[in-house]
Chains A and B, each alone.
Chain A
Amino acid sequence: MTGLTQTEATTGQTVDDVAVDVRGLTITFTAAGKTITPIDGLDLQVRRGELVCILGPSGQGKSTLLRAVAGLTRPDAGSITTPEGAVTEPGAERGMVFQQDAIPMWLRVQDNVAFGPKLRGVPRAEYQPTVDHLIEEVGLDEWRRAWPRQLSGGMRKRVAIAAVFANEPSILLMDEPFGALDFFTREKLQGLLLQLWAETAKTVLFVTHDVDEALLLADRIVILGKGRVAQDITVPFARPRGDDLRSDPAAIELRQELIGRLGEK
């Protein structure tokens, strides 16, 4: 079994199932006098509660796509729609974890996790139980009053994950969040993400260039090429997926095929 079969994501779902609907998306940049089009007429539908990994080498428009869904980059053509309506600007229903640290360095851990609700003027009584629960869940209870500068890179990522979950978005956008971390920290955070995802059933769009990470996390893997979806693959392995995935013949075969596809880009 190769697993490299096109899903019916674009055809076999009702409107109510769709959390993110990208149609004909085109984004063009001009840099150093040259015009580049990392996204060129891209179509993609993501179902509610689905964890989709966008996989590919650098420069294929993965982050651009994610930023467009976040409302941070304006499309030149096409549309992005969520159940809340057309995406025209950033919104709390689409939380994002950035590749680089973006949590406010001037806020203590506990204030960072509560940052979203505070920004939106949510009364403290409403968000504090969730914030306390998440701080505990990501293992930072003893570091509540620490400044981000005093934490390791992995701990800062845990703050970022707790903060975005505390804001209770329906869609979670993650732009290579674990890319700069060591192997063991990355494994722990992948586990933490899967745990929180299982508890909250959020829709997740996860950008990565790591095939193993995609195989561990994703319901579907989307490979971008020439500005469009080149491959849309349903990951056939049951959850929870653990270390045995590395030695599973079907997983090894799929990994090799994915690497081969990525090498063609």
Chain B
Amino acid sequence: MTILASRLGATTEPETGGPDRRSSRARPGTAWLWPLVGVIGFVLVWALLAALVRSSAVLPGPWEVAKNFAANFNGSPALKYLGLDVTSYVGNLGYTGSIVLSGWLIGAVIGVVTGLASARTQWVRNLVEPVTTVFGVVPILVAAPFALVWFGTSTTGKFLLIVFFSAATVLVVAQSAALALPLRYEEYAATLGGGSSARLRRVVFPATLTTTLTGLRAALGQAWGLEVVAELLGAPAGIGRAIAVRAGTGDIASVIALILALGILALLCDAVLSLIVRQFAQWQTDKEPS
């Protein structure tokens, strides 16, 4: 009987050995080049298509969209007229972003704690697994109308929905990472005098951190989608709501500007998270000593 095997399903198999040489093949100086080429290529193709279509009502060009965004950045009379509580693009970005980020953050904390706890304690696992299994496969397009029925168009409903789905996503990732951690790491810590909570803090948590952070990135991407879809269906403000009302009036330049602004904001958040992941993954990615 293995005493520490109370961490259920823990494997005694060695992790895949051998150094990861991906980073040593990479050329960091040119890493930014291809994304830049992609963006420039996209803008050029877009401008070319807009020039061919010759109708800004159908496909406005990049410059026209940029002008629209700048003009409505701090305040948009049209949004006010169309009944949004928040009447600037930046305000609506902030509204959506604050719900997404706060809901995701709280969900992430719940997910990490529950995920690690469920990997170590049978009753916690029994408790959460049916819920995550059932709701984890529910598509966003189904979850968002459900929230609308239960909570109406209130901010609270969307916030809770994001908390729940972020927690469920992160929980599954954290639990899997903790279960895949070979048991000998915890046993080693135990023979050095590490108690249960010390092992959780100094072994299980750091060992699973990089995988969990990857799960957090996925959950954040999902949270943006969930919030915007929920706003499209009904909300007092937010980028999703602004896109819906602008689409209703046929203002394609505004729709494209808002979609791009949302995309760039989500991309920036992901980039920050990616930097954090890279920082914590140094032990897996630092290149071989020469």
Cα distance A92–B198 in the bound complex, in angstroms: 13
Task: Pull 23 A–B residue pairs with CB atoms less than 8 Å apart, ordered by A.
Answer: A72-B3, A72-B191, A73-B2, A74-B3, A89-B3, A90-B187, A90-B191, A92-B192, A96-B187, A96-B191, A104-B206, A115-B189, A116-B192, A118-B202, A119-B193, A120-B193, A120-B194, A120-B198, A149-B20, A149-B284, A150-B288, A167-B193, A173-B191
Determine if A147 is an interface residue (Cβ-Cβ < 8 Å). Answer: yes
B14's contact among A100, A116, A120, A164, by CB below 8 Å, is which?
Answer: A100
Extra contacts besides A70-B187, A76-B1, A108-B283 (20): CB < 8 Å: A70-B191, A73-B1, A89-B3, A95-B192, A98-B188, A100-B182, A101-B14, A104-B203, A104-B206, A106-B283, A115-B192, A116-B193, A119-B193, A120-B192, A147-B282, A147-B283, A149-B19, A150-B289, A163-B192, A167-B192
Determine if A86 is an interface residue (Cβ-Cβ < 8 Å). Answer: no
Determine if A102 is an interface residue (Cβ-Cβ < 8 Å). Answer: yes
Task: List chain B residues, Cβ under 8 A from A138.
Answer: none
Task: List chain A residues, Cβ under 8 A from B140.
Answer: none
Determine if A181 is an interface residue (Cβ-Cβ < 8 Å). Answer: no
**Contact code string A83-119 (vs B, CB < 8 Å = 1, else 0):** 0000001111011101011111111100000011011
Q: How far is the CB of A85 from chain B (nearest CB, A)?
A: 15
> Could you say which interface size class chain B belongs to?
20 to 34
Decide if the interface of chain B is mainly helix, strand, loop or mixed: helix
Q: How far is the CB of B47 from chain A (nearest CB, A)?
A: 47
Task: List chain B residues, Cβ under 8 A from A147.
Answer: 282-283, 286
Determine if B151 is an interface residue (Cβ-Cβ < 8 Å). Answer: no
Task: List chain B residues, Cβ under 8 A from A94.
Answer: 191
Determine if A41 is an interface residue (Cβ-Cβ < 8 Å). Answer: no
Q: How far is the CB of A89 from chain B (nearest CB, A)?
A: 6
Q: Top 7 closest A-B pairs, CB basis?
A: A92-B193, A116-B192, A90-B190, A102-B188, A119-B194, A96-B191, A102-B184
Interface residues of A (CB under 8 A from B): 29, 70-74, 76, 89-92, 94-96, 98, 100-108, 115-116, 118-120, 146-150, 163-164, 167, 173
Task: List chain B residues, Cβ under 8 A from A146.
Answer: 289
Determine if B135 is an interface residue (Cβ-Cβ < 8 Å). Answer: no
Q: How far is the CB of A246 from chain B (nearest CB, A)?
A: 32
A96's contact among B3, B14, B188, B209, by CB below 8 Å, is which?
Answer: B188
Task: List chain B residues, Cβ under 8 A from A115.
Answer: 189, 192, 202
Cα distance A28–B244 in the bound complex, in angstroms: 67
From A74, A149, A163, name the one whose CB has the most chain B CB atoms within 10 angstroms.
A149
Decide if A102 touches B193 in the complex (CB within 8 Å): no
Task: List chain A residues, Cβ under 8 A from B289.
Answer: 146, 150
Q: How far is the CB of B60 from chain A (nearest CB, A)?
A: 50
Cα distance A89–B193 in the bound complex, in angstroms: 10
Decide if B187 touches A102 in the complex (CB within 8 Å): yes
Task: List chain A residues, Cβ under 8 A from B182.
Answer: 100, 102
Determine if B185 is an interface residue (Cβ-Cβ < 8 Å). Answer: yes
Determine if B4 is an interface residue (Cβ-Cβ < 8 Å). Answer: yes
Cα distance A108–B14 in the bound complex, in angstroms: 20
Cα distance A103–B184 in the bound complex, in angstroms: 9
From B1, B4, B284, name the one whose CB has the most chain A CB atoms within 10 angstroms.
B1
Cα distance A147–B282 in the bound complex, in angstroms: 9
Q: How far is the CB of B51 from chain A (nearest CB, A)?
A: 53
Decide if B187 touches A72 in the complex (CB within 8 Å): yes
Cα distance A118–B19 in the bound complex, in angstroms: 27
Cα distance A101–B187 in the bound complex, in angstroms: 12
Please, which residue of chain A has its CB at the minimum distance from the CB of B191?
A: A96
Decide if B194 touches A74 in the complex (CB within 8 Å): no
Determine if B207 is an interface residue (Cβ-Cβ < 8 Å). Answer: yes
A73's contact among B3, B14, B198, B202, by CB below 8 Å, is which?
Answer: B3
Q: How far is the CB of A204 from chain B (nearest CB, A)?
A: 14
Please, which residue of chain B has its CB at the minimum distance from the CB of A93?
A: B193
Interface residues of B in 96-153 (CB under 8 A from A): none
Task: List chain A residues, Cβ under 8 A from B206.
Answer: 104, 106-107
B3's contact among A90, A98, A107, by CB below 8 Å, is which?
Answer: A90
Interface residues of B in 1-59 (CB under 8 A from A): 1-4, 14-15, 19-20
Task: List chain B residues, Cβ under 8 A from A118.
Answer: 202
Q: How far is the CB of A153 from chain B (nearest CB, A)?
A: 9
Decide if B3 touches A102 in the complex (CB within 8 Å): no
Cα distance A148–B189 in the bound complex, in angstroms: 16
Task: List chain A residues, Cβ under 8 A from B191.
Answer: 70-72, 90-92, 94-96, 173
Cα distance A218–B140 in the bound complex, in angstroms: 65
Please, which residue of chain B has its CB at the minimum distance from the CB of A167?
A: B192
Decide if B192 touches A105 in the complex (CB within 8 Å): no
Interface residues of B in 158-199 (CB under 8 A from A): 182, 184-185, 187-194, 198-199
B283's contact among A71, A90, A92, A105, by CB below 8 Å, is which?
Answer: A105
Task: List chain B residues, Cβ under 8 A from A100.
Answer: 14, 182, 184
Task: List chain A residues, Cβ under 8 A from B199.
Answer: 119
Task: List chain A residues, Cβ under 8 A from B203.
Answer: 104
